[in-house]
């Protein structure tokens, strides 16, 4: 084959004298909506970063709580929506990250805000030996098995008298920090963790490893036949999801100032994460974001109604799964083509692209 033909652009043309002509096709990786969303997102983050200087402390506390739910839901979506590993026991790493942060702060003298990423790192590391047990299961057995593992974590910490046993204990390492500084620092860390979680997941899914993960989700056998290291990729995603869950747990209990096994390892964490992801749209970065906002609104205005509130959450989940099978954002994306975080590549003919400002 002619050497010049090999070096020509993909799907392009080769002119006279073996000189490649401009390719009639172009690959689009961003849309007008995603570019606008990036500008609006940067502006919102800058405004949000100034909230401690003019906002009320109750606003910061609410943001920290919903940020923890969002990060946890984002990690569950990465694990189940993109990796195909449906877990009901991610609260194991949520609680482990919270307890690791508390023990580093109370017993090792580490600043609790520094202990937040260290607690997340501890949760990621403990996920490695846990995976040896969890990955022996698949499908529904994997989901139930992870729940059992989380219960083992809960019972283990409930029998540790050093951290308060079943009744839990208080984060005493923050006693020397005044309330305003503690709340503003917790808020800024929550904001930074949200931005980092979205950015890292987005960049990962746009990479070759993200494409490999989607192939594993669709068909493990076919992915492995194409040379994808399935076991290594699944372990990497499992550890990353555990790290994110531990980060959310450590951040939550820094803001809550108290931790107990029942609160840290409650299955409600995973139940609420599943609710947010299903409502927003599983397998989409925007899904947990939309779901977290809806969950916050329902929790903020309807939680006083007790059991009716929980019934309302269940009814909403049923309606969405029946009539919006891809979630609310999935429906909007399918109907209007909205994509704030495009991870796919689109092949466009050059003639269909709008002309640039210089007329070319």
Ranges in the chain, pLDDT < 50: 1-16, 21, 355-360
Q: What is the pLDDT of residue 122?
A: 96
Q: What is the pLDDT of residue 131?
A: 94
Asked whether the beta carbons of 34 and 161 are under 8 A apart, the reply is: no
Query: pLDDT for 30-47, tens place per residue?
Result: 677 777 878 888 999 999
Domain 23-349 is found in CATH 2.40.30: no
| DSSP helix/strand/coil, 323 | helix
Q: What is the pLDDT of residue 350?
A: 55
Q: What is the pLDDT of residue 13?
A: 44
C-alpha to C-alpha distance for 95 and 250, rounded to whole angstroms = 8
| DSSP helix/strand/coil, 343 | coil
Tokens standing for residue 209: 């490893």
Q: What is the pLDDT of residue 188?
A: 95
- H-type alpha helices, the chain: 3-7, 32-49, 51-54, 57-76, 91-106, 112-134, 140-158, 179-205, 208-218, 220-225, 230-256, 261-264, 268-280, 286-302, 307-323, 327-336
Q: What is the pLDDT of residue 357?
A: 40
Q: What is the pLDDT of residue 142?
A: 94
């Amino acid at each position: 084959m002619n050497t010049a033909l090999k070096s020509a652009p993909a799907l392009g043309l080769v002119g006279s004298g073996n000189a490649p002509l401009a390719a009639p096709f172009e690959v689009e990786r961003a849309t007008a909506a995603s570019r606008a969303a990036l500008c609006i997102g940067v502006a919102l983050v800058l405004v949000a970063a100034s909230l401690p200087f003019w906002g009320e402390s109750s606003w910061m506390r609410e943001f920290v709580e919903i940020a923890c739910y969002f990060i946890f839901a984002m990690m569950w979506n990465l694990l189940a929506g993109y990796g195909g590993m449906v877990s009901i026991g991610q609260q194991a790493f949520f609680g482990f990250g919270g307890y690791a942060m508390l023990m580093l702060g109370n017993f090792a003298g580490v600043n609790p805000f520094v202990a937040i990423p260290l607690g997340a790192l501890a949760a990621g590391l403990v996920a490695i030996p846990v995976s040896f047990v969890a990955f022996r299961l698949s499908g529904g057995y994997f989901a139930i098995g992870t729940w059992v593992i989380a219960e083992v974590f809960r019972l283990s910490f409930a029998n540790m008298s050093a951290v308060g046993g079943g009744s839990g204990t208080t984060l005493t390492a923050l006693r020397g920090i005044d309330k305003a500084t503690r709340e503003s620092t917790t808020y800024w860390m929550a904001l930074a963790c949200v931005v980092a979680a979205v950015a890292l997941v987005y960049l990962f899914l746009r990479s070759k490893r993200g494409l490999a993960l989607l192939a594993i989700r669709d068909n493990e056998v076919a992915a492995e036949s194409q040379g994808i290291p399935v076991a290594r990729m699944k372990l990497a995603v499992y550890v990353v999801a555990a790290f994110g869950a531990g980060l959310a747990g450590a951040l939550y209990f820094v803001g809550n100032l108290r931790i107990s096994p029942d609160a840290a390892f409650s299955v409600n964490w995973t139940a609420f994460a599943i609710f947010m992801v299903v409502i927003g749209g599983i397998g989409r970065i925007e899904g947990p974001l939309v779901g977290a906002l809806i969950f916050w609104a329902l929790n903020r205005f309807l939680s006083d109604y007790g059991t009716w509130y929980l019934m309302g959450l269940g009814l909403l989940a049923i309606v969405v799964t029946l009539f919006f099978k891809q979630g609310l954002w999935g429906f909007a994306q399918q109907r209007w083509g909205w994509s704030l975080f495009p991870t796919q590549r689109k092949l466009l003919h050059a003639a269909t692209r709008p002309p640039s400002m210089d007329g070319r």
